[in-house]
Amino acid sequence: MKKILILSANPLDTSKLRLDEEIREIRAALKRAKNRDKFQIITESAVRVDDLRLALLEHEPSIVHFSGHGSGDNGLAFESNSGHLQLVSTEALVRLFELFKTKIECVLLNACYSKTQADAIHEHIDCVIGMSRAIGDKAAIEFAVGFYDALGAGNPYEYCFKIGSVSIDLEGIPESETPVLKARPRSHENAEDIAVAVEEKTPQSTHNGASLHGGVEIVQRNHKQQNLTLTEYRNRQALLNKVNNYWVKGVLENSLHNQVKIELGLEEKFDALARPWDMELEIQGQRAKTVPQGTRVINLFDRIGEGRSLLILGEPGSGKTITLLELACELIKRAKIDVNQLIPVVFNLSSWTLKRQKI
């Protein structure tokens, strides 16, 4: 199990940041992940200088996430014993992380102007993420959520970085080039599985938002299995959003199935007739089986395996379309965080045949 150590600091004499919200969203991202059992989140708030050293010694994390203020060449902002600002220099941070280089795999500095620290720490840590300039609270949170969504899906750090950056884009926030990655293969990785690194230097710019959160410069690597360019990935996400917006948000979420029901004061008599919402699963060559109540259609879809077809049958009004769209909703969620998953597409065959459209 990999330990993720989240360190946060917001000294009394610095602008207020939404650190609690960021931590809550990171927890939620990993809680919903398919690989959630592989990660343990440890949080330390109002971190003082001594707390940083002690937390690394006690927890021995694989991933260190710092959320707070950065001050460029002056260092990162921690708290003094009185709760006020105490800067820790880049040199001191480098010496500290050098002592843990065999244990720590990734450092994420979600703080303004942490480019200097990311560059320096990368001398000893294989994967370091920071911010090339100031970053707003919302962008910082979106990046973190996207990163940990992808991490929970089993992706390498380099790809998680891409997901985080595009997550900022998807929210319409013009700060997706602020996060920066510096990475190299770890000693246990096969260098042939890693493409040649390309350094992306982002131009300096100013941010006019009220609460700023952090900045950095990036070296990006693509794992061989994840061979989409950033443009291809954005196009893929745009298509997924179109399917989601039309069929899930436009149809499923507005369906009668999801609306408030009128209470008719009915009497329950379970043995009066067979329940119309019962489902049966029939796989070729096997007996039909009644599906237990509460079973999700995505579980049935996974059970039949790849390369096979799932046919949903039922009387009019029995919920065939709702079941199909619930399946599409789950598949969209998977495809958004795992580029190896196929994009679900829904066809309305009744109107499709009338217009005689070609595929």
Backbone angles phi, psi at 217, to 5 degrees: -115, 150
Kindly tell me the burial class for residue 167, based on how many C-beta atoms sit within 10 Å of its own C-beta (0-12, 13-18, 19 or more): buried
What's CA 70's distance to the chain center, in Å?
23
User: Is the predicted pLDDT of residue 68 greater than 70, yes or no?
Assistant: yes
DSSP 8-state secondary structure symbol assigned to residue 193: G
CA 219 → CA 106, 127, 276, distances in Å? 14, 9, 57
Domain coordinates in residue numbering, the chain? 2-226, 233-260+277-355
What's CA 153's distance to the chain center, in Å?
8
The per-residue pLDDT for range 127-183, each reduced to its tens digit, is 999 999 999 999 999 999 999 999 999 999 999 999 999 999 999 999 999 999 999
pLDDT for the residue 191 = 34
DSSP 8-state secondary structure symbol assigned to residue 66: E
Give the CATH number of domain 2-226: 3.40.50.1460
Asked if residues 220 and 158 have their Cβ atoms less than 8 Å apart, the reply is yes
The lowest-confidence range among 40-54, 152-166, 168-182, 278-292 is 278-292
Per the listing, tokens 């493409």 go with: 195
The per-residue pLDDT for range 187-203, each reduced to its tens digit, is 444 333 333 333 333 33
CA 333 → CA 34, 132, 236, 248, 338, distances in Å? 11, 30, 13, 11, 9
The per-residue pLDDT for range 294-340, each reduced to its tens digit, is 777 887 787 776 666 788 877 777 777 888 888 888 888 888 777 77
H/E element, 43: strand 39-44
Mean pLDDT, rounded, for 282-287: 66
Q: Which two tokens stand for residue 323?
A: 């079941």
Banded pLDDT at 25 (limits 50, 70, 90):
very high
DSSP 8-state secondary structure symbol assigned to residue 258: G
pTM to 2 decimals? 0.57
